């Protein structure tokens, strides 16, 4: 899902603007991000793992790297491993929204029952919105809407999805809006969203 991947990657801004003192791990994390953006998820996981094992990143950077590795693993269908990365990201830095948002998305939209938990997804998504940078707020609201739908709160899901769409229209993200409108239609029919990624 190009929209979710693109906005998930936007959460890595801090990786691109930190001091050179932490360059070794961050350089590997940047290489991992480039691989992830190109769809080379196995290579991204390898590079992120090396960056994490380097041991020289401060907690916010480490947390974002863990969340990004989780996103790459999820793209490969390794959902249990992705969930573990998201949880570790939250543990590493509870003030970074990436782990909360990605974990909530899995718990709200996974095609497999074993990974879904609407109430827990809702708590995580609310925390992600609270911590979310305004630039990527539409992604966090999209996850919040999916979490409300999974919890059976379809009226609130519609409300949050409309907010996300409105913000994206202001940003001029027309292609992304179309994707969110598909989910909005589902919520209006009292249908939770299911991620198309295999898991």
How many CB atoms sit inside 10 A of residue 156's CB? Answer: 17
Is residue 198 scored above 80 in pLDDT? no
Tokens of 80: 């249990």
Per-residue model confidence (pLDDT) at position 22: 43
Residue with tokens 């990365």: 85
Across all residues in the chain, what is the average pLDDT?
A: 89
For 92, the 3-state DSSP assignment is helix
What percentage of residues in the chain have a pLDDT greater than 90?
81
Whole-number Å distance between alpha carbons of 158 and 172: 21
In terms of residues, how long is the chain? 199
For 86, the 3-state DSSP assignment is helix
Let me know the angle formed at the C-alpha of 198 by 155 and 83, rounded to the nearest 5 degrees.
75
- Specify the DSSP element, H or E, that contains 119: helix 118-131
Residue with tokens 């782990």: 99
Residue with tokens 């998201």: 86
Average pLDDT over residues 172-189: 94
pLDDT in tens, 4-59: 544 454 444 444 444 444 448 999 999 999 999 999 999 999 999 999 999 899 99
Which of 94, 147, 139 has its CA nearest to residue 116?
A: 147
Per-residue model confidence (pLDDT) at position 178: 93
Whole-number Å distance between alpha carbons of 2 and 58: 29
Taking a C-beta distance cutoff of 8 angstroms, is the pair 133, 39 a contact?
Answer: no
Average pLDDT over residues 175-182: 94
pLDDT in tens, 96-119: 999 999 999 999 999 999 999 999
pLDDT-derived band of residue 196, with 50, 70 and 90 as boundaries? confident
Per-residue model confidence (pLDDT) at position 175: 86
Average pLDDT over residues 63-72: 97
Is residue 197 scored above 90 in pLDDT? no
């Amino acid at each position: 899902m190009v929209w979710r991947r693109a906005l998930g990657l936007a959460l890595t801004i801090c990786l691109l603007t930190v001091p050179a003192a932490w360059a070794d791990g961050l350089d590997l994390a940047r290489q991992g991000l480039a691989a992830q953006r190109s769809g080379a998820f196995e290579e991204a996981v390898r590079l992120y793992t090396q960056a994490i094992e380097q041991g020289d990143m401060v907690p916010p950077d480490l947390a974002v790297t863990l969340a990004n590795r989780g996103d790459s693993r999820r793209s490969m269908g390794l959902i249990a491993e992705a969930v573990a990365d998201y949880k570790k990201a939250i543990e590493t830095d509870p003030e970074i929204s990436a782990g909360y948002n990605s974990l909530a998305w899995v718990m709200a939209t996974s095609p497999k029952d074993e990974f879904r938990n609407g109430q827990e997804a809702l708590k995580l998504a609310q925390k992600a919105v609270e911590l979310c940078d305004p630039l990527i707020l539409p992604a966090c609201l999209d996850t919040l809407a999916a979490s409300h739908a999974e919890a059976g709160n379809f009226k609130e899901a519609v409300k949050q999805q409309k907010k996300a769409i409105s913000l994206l229209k202001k940003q001029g993200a027309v292609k992304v809006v179309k994707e969110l409108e598909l989910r909005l239609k589902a919520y209006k029919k009292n249908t939770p969203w299911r991620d198309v990624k295999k898991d």
